[in-house]
Amino acid sequence: MPPSDSQSFLRDLDKKLWTAADKLRSNLDAAVYKHAVLGLIFLKYVSDSFAQRQAEIEAMLKDPENDFFVDPAGYDQPAKYDEAIHQELEERDYYIEKNVFWVPALARWQTLQDSAKLPAGTEITVKNGKTTTYKITSTGKLIDDALEAVEKENPKLKNVLNKNYTQLQIDPANLAGLIDLIATIPFQHADLHAKDILGHVYEYFLGQFALAEGKKGGQYFTPKSIVSLIVEMIEPYQGRVYDPAMGSGGFFVQSERFIEEHGGTIGDIMVFGQESNPTTWRLAAMNMAIRGIDFDFGKEPADTFTRDQHPDLRADFVMANPPFNVKEWWNSKLADDVRWKYGTPPKGNANFAWIQHMLHHLAPNGIASFVLANGSMSANQSGEGDIRRRLIEADIVDCMVQLPSQLFYSTSIPVCIWCLAKNKGASKKRGTERRGETLFIDARRLGRMVDRVHKEFTDEDIAMVAGAYRRWRGSDEGEEEYRDIPGFCSSATLKEIEFHKFALVPGRYVGFSAEEKPDLTHIDLKTELEALAARLEQITISATQASQTLYSFANGSTPI
Amino acid sequence: MAAPLFDCPKDWEKATLEPDKFKGLIVSVATGSTPATTVDEYWDGDVPWLTPKEITGDFKGLYVSATERNITSEGLKNSSAKLLPPGTVMLSKRAPVGAVAVNTVPMATNQGFMNFVCGHKLRPLYLALWLKANITYLDRVANGSTYPELYKNDLFEFEICAPSVETQDQIVNAILSLEFAILLGAPLEQTSSELIETRRIRGETARLDAACSRLIPLLLSGQLDPRDFQKSK
């Protein structure tokens, strides 16, 4: 956790950049613009990291105390010495040993910024050890060629960068403006590195774009509240982490943050992901590259059900926010799939296909935790109820959390979190024996509105839910014992779940808090009844008056 | 957890909302439906047909004797709506959840209702008050996939407790007397030409209203004997 001044520095930076970038968008569709902006932010990141490493190497070469010292005395002219240093600085090994992407001169940020406003036809010289010339045709083409060059030099980034700036319907002046804007992102701050700053900007932009894209954008972006909650609940600090519907990779980023906050190193996890949307798949890969997370997202973007990219994976942690209630997912070749251990999911709704896919890829002592629409907890249509019953009877359902609505940008449907574990017995990671039990948490009253339509969890909200689950599992470092809290959480047995006809809705298990119950303290009836008597008397008087008035009126005399 | 919001004496009758002919509390449940709106012959007949929005908002009291729209007996025949006998407890199950009314004339409802027919051991008004007093529970279990909605399974596991029908009648009477005094507050306000007096009446009504909502759970949980209540009157 960086100290709060860096927090506020990042917050101000995010806002400033977003406002400026949004101005340059003019009429471009947010979904298209997103890739243009994020691609440039990524390029800035690789270029900055490269420049930083280059400065380090240069310092080494010029430090007489260093093993790599290049002695100027060995050169008869300063120019020759400078050339030697330049050649040395272009040595790839220096960069690769530190996991820094090698950036060819054309793609270095300074080159882009200097060349973006040059008229077409201008020739620039590019010096990568040897000197070449490059002819500018358009700003878009320049960026595409730069990205192409980066990809060619770094096998890890193969097919990851979105090289279509030439086709973008974006005004060259705006594109140049965007480059200037991104150039203003500092890559160092008191205690932040390039990856902290650019990673943060990258993620903030993802969120803002999800807002701007509305319904469609939300598919690829899970709100921070939910990602943080799931990560805090299952603590993925070591081993294989898998997200079969990863979108732009939010769960992995949050896992990394979790590890850092708990003093681990990022090398402790290896992330596996799958995503069918090609542009989103690229965003996720860039997202990982910025942070130096070791990732395997399969050979290519592909459908999780029909082209499983990690067939043999058994992950220690599975986290996901799969698309809800997908209607068109079925394919005839899925008929007898090994994954449908608890029953074939209905062809008109993929919820239970996602659940079983994740279970299939879960290690024997792992935990899977994912978001689904509320229907999954109680729907009995087309065999869903039977699959759910078998999951419950197999003692796999570990914890269910009902969430407040309005956490998502793209939908207002109420959602819940499922946590599954194949082994609920006591172990090193789980101090408490919980076989035959399931924890139910009703978190619907938590969260606060951040604007008219969106809700977010506070840190306290997250601690309250995640803490309850961790204490219940016996994997919390605190001394506190788990206990049921009426109206919030309750540990239920299989028998109770049977009574509720295998519906997993936490609201039905947790009971009521004291505030929700009617006040049954006696009231002073006597005083109340005196008021009542006076009231009834008044009604009688008014009624008599009214009848007298009407009576005399009917008898032809005017009422007094 | 399908227990009501308050505990009841052990000797009261206990059952869930699931119909059970032998128990004599709730004997049947009927759903409602909407006849095809494109067929004119189904509409504007002489069968009252209720929708949830008619018994929310400004609706005060418990009885319903007329509806905004009527359907025809043809409409009734060609839809799954049932004609409910007078004294059926109609509970809205969506948009909003938990509005309650009792019909005084034969009536049908749209699909937004779950309609309970009471047996010889349960008074409709008592059930209606019971459901109203447990609105927190109904809200809690209304877990729709797109918007809050009560499903049959959720409702059928909910418990009701009832004393003898004589005691039920006394409880209902006590509450109706209170409601009578409260409901007359509005016309009473209009009878005075003194503004100060009008304001006093309004304040008094609010106070009685609050006392009434405190009394209902006390009566329904057997903590307050309706006979004492009537004696002190």
Q: Which of B2-6, B111-115, B185-189 has the lowest mean pLDDT?
A: B2-6
Integer CA distances (angstroms), A82 to A59, A127, A170, A320, in order: 13, 14, 41, 52
Instruction: Assign B233 a pLDDT band (cuts: 50, 70, 90).
Output: very low
Which stretches does DSSP call E strand in A285-410?
Answer: 295-296, 315-320, 362-373, 397-402
Looking at residue B54, its pLDDT comes to 93
Contact between B2 and A528 using a beta-carbon 8 Å cutoff: no
Which of B143, B176, B209 should be substituted to probe chain A, the one whose Cβ sees the most A Cβ atoms within 10 Å? B143
Looking at residue B229, its pLDDT comes to 58
Looking at residue A559, its pLDDT comes to 52
DSSP B65: -
Integer CA distances (angstroms), A60 to A53, A74, A188, A194, in order: 11, 17, 20, 21
Which residue of B157, B178, B214 is in closest CB contact with A523?
B214
β-pair partners for A123: A135
Which of B6, B18, B97, B140 should be substituted to probe chain A, the one whose Cβ sees the most A Cβ atoms within 10 Å? B140
Contact status of B135 with chain A (Cβ, < 8 Å): no
Q: In chain B, positions 115-134, which contact chain A (CB-CB < 8 Å)?
A: 133
Mean of pLDDT over chain A: 88
Query: How does pLDDT run across B87-100, given as a tens digit for each residue?
Result: 999 999 987 889 99
Integer CA distances (angstroms), B224 to A270, A508, A525, B173, in order: 64, 28, 10, 14
Contact between A325 and B184 using a beta-carbon 8 Å cutoff: no
Looking at residue A220, its pLDDT comes to 65
Q: Is the pLDDT of residue B232 over 50?
A: no
Q: Is the pLDDT of residue B15 over 70?
A: yes
The nearest alpha carbon in chain A to B178 belongs to A532
Which residue of B1, B208, B232 is in closest CB contact with A535?
B208
Mean of pLDDT over chain B: 89
In chain B, the N- to C-terminal Cα span, in Å, equals: 38
CA gap A124, A108 in Å, rounded: 13
Query: How does pLDDT run across A174-183, given as a tens digit for each residue?
Result: 888 888 888 8
Residues of A whose CB is below 8 A from B181: 532, 535-536, 539
Looking at residue A234, its pLDDT comes to 95
The nearest alpha carbon in chain A to B190 belongs to A542
Q: Is the pLDDT of residue B212 over 80?
A: yes
Angle at A402 (CA atoms; ends A401, A404), nearest 5 degrees: 130
Buried b (16+ CB within 10 A) or exposed e, A301-311: bbebbeebbbe
On whether the CB atoms of residues B150 and B29 are closer than 8 A, the answer is: no
Contact between A546 and B188 using a beta-carbon 8 Å cutoff: no
Question: Do the strands B26-31 and B63-64 form a parallel or antiparallel pair, or are they unpaired?
Answer: unpaired
Tokens of B81: 């709506």
Looking at residue A466, its pLDDT comes to 96
Residue % of chain B over a pLDDT of 90: 56
Q: How many CB pairs under 8 A join A and B?
A: 108
Residues of B whose CB is below 8 A from A380: 153
Query: How does pLDDT run across A481-521, given as a tens digit for each residue?
Result: 999 999 999 999 999 999 888 999 998 899 888 888 888 77
All residue ranges of chain A with pLDDT < 70 are: 1-4, 214-220, 266-267, 557-560
Tally Cβ neighbours within 10 Å of residue A10: 18
Contact between B218 and A499 using a beta-carbon 8 Å cutoff: no
Looking at residue B145, its pLDDT comes to 52
Q: Which of A236-245, B23-32, B189-198 has the lowest mean pLDDT?
A: B189-198
Ramachandran assignment for A424, one of left (phi > 0), alpha (psi -120 to 50 degrees), beta (any other) = alpha
